[in-house]
Every structure is written in C-alpha cells, then in structure tokens.
Amino acid sequence: MSDNQRSPSQTRLFLAQFLFANDIDIETLYGALGADLTQSDNEAVSHMAGIIDGISLATSKIRAHGLDDWAKK
C-alpha cells in the first residue's frame, strides 16, 4: 500500500471523525447517498451494519472524550 493511501480501517476512522465534526448522523448520511437498505442484499447490509456500528461507536467516543483521547477510553 502506498504511503498516501488509507487502509479500510483508517478510512472508517476518518469518516467517523468527519461525521462527528460536521454533526451528521448515519441516517442522514444514508439519505444523502440515496441508499435504500430495503432493496439491498442481506449479506451486504449485515456487513455494512457492522461497519456502521463501529463508526457510530467511534463517533460517540469522540463526542464523549474528545478527538485526542477517545481511543484511550
């Protein structure tokens, strides 16, 4: 992987930080992307749910403990 390319986990963390900084919740993000989960493949939705849970957890920890200390708590 090149130095300027983010890993999938780094990308998810960056997204969580962006969502927190801009006060965007996951439902708003889905709506903006035009995502209709009722029309999606169950396995894909399950996978995305796990990713979104992680992003939501990171966002709530950032909100509670601050951007510098959230991962320590």
pLDDT in tens, 6-64: 888 788 878 878 888 888 887 788 778 787 767 777 787 777 778 888 878 888 888 88
The terminus-to-terminus CA distance of the chain in angstroms comes to 30
pLDDT of residue 40: 74
Instruction: Map out the domains of the chain as residue ranges.
Output: 8-72
User: Distance (Å, rounded) from C-alpha 2 to C-alpha 37?
Assistant: 33
Judged against a pLDDT cut of 70, whether residue 73 lies above it is answered with no
pLDDT in tens, 52-72: 888 788 888 888 888 787 777
